[in-house]
Amino acid sequence: MRKSSQKSSLPDEGEAAPVERVRRQRGHQRVEVLLGAAAQVFAEKGYDAATMTEIAARAESSIGSLYQFFPTKPGVAQGVIALQAGELQERLAAMAGASAGWDVDELSARLVVALIEFRAAHPSFARLVDSPGAPAAQVQAVRQAMRVQLAEILAPHAPGLTKARLAAVAVAVQQVMKAAVTLNTEAAPGTRAALVELKEMLRVYLRAALQA
């Protein structure tokens, strides 16, 4: 009896690998779409008022697809924060790479507007990290990572400062940056002038602190 010459329908390893890569790529793309939609909904509604149904609808996805990747709303929020915090870290890393070429005047001006520009690009970030329902451990980790990067930005201008003092200056700068964000959201007359004063305040502080 002749053996059947029919080939197996199962793909060999060489065929399976590209298929798996395509599946992973599609999965990553789907996650990006879902997180982008979630960011929009969180920016508009805030964390508490946003619903998984709204997020799925904004992503033009089924609720089942959303739950497949993110079973809970806190999980979605964590995903959005992680994605946006990654971009913030990239921005600060770029500043750290360039800060040695700036004088203190330029350094202070760039620091004041850095967080304003980031939060303008990602309005959901503030609504998530400042929400009572935000994942506290993740938010604290993001803030701590920002402080470390701010110290790296300041370091070329402060060769005489101890590590502890530089870390303290970084925390102070972080608070000024947050104040600038808050001020920038106000529609009251004089806001622009107040931001100029805030930049001047930071410039004077850094001149004194970094040369101590």
- The position carrying tokens 């960011």 is 39
Q: Which residue has the tokens 């001149």?
A: 207
Structure tokens at 71: 């079973």
Query: Is pLDDT of 49 > 50?
Result: yes
Let me know whether 43 and 136 are in one domain: no
For residue 157, which of 111, 91, 196 has the smallest C-alpha distance?
A: 111
168 and 98, same structural domain? yes
And the tokens for 96? 């750290």
Fill in the DSSP letter of residue 9.
S
Q: Are 195 and 184 in contact, with CB atoms under 8 Å apart?
A: yes
61 in the same domain as 129: no
The percent of residues in the chain predicted with pLDDT above 90, rounded, is 77
Residue 195 to residue 179: CA distance in whole angstroms: 9
Residue 5 is predicted with a pLDDT of 47
Handedness of CA 135, 138, 142, 147 (dihedral sign): positive
The pLDDT score that the predictor gives to residue 18 is 65
Q: Is 159 strand, coil or helix?
A: coil
Question: Are the beta carbons of 43 and 123 closer than 8 angstroms?
Answer: yes
pTM over 0.85: no
Q: Does some domain include residue 5?
A: no
Which pLDDT belongs to residue 211? Answer: 84
Type and span of the H or E element at 2: none
Find tokens 């970030």 and name the residue.
Answer: 125
Task: Calculate what percentage of the chain has a pLDDT beyond 70.
Answer: 87
Mean pLDDT of 102-106: 95
C-alpha triplet 106, 109, 120: angle, nearest 5°: 135
pLDDT at 88 over 90: yes
Indicate the residue among 71, 93, 119 that finishes a domain.
Answer: 71
Domain range for 202 is 78-212
Average the pLDDT over 198-208 and give the result: 95
Is pLDDT at 86 greater than 90 in this prediction?
yes
* 54 and 147 share one domain: no
Does residue 11 register a pLDDT over 90? no
pLDDT tens for residues 153-192? Answer: 999 999 999 999 999 999 999 999 999 999 988 888 889 8
173 within some domain: yes
Per-residue pLDDT, averaged over 34-55, amounts to 96
pLDDT at 8: 45
Number of structural domains (the chain) is 2
What is the identity of the amino acid at 128? Answer: L
pLDDT at 187: 82
* Distance of alpha carbon 127 from alpha carbon 120, whole angstroms: 12
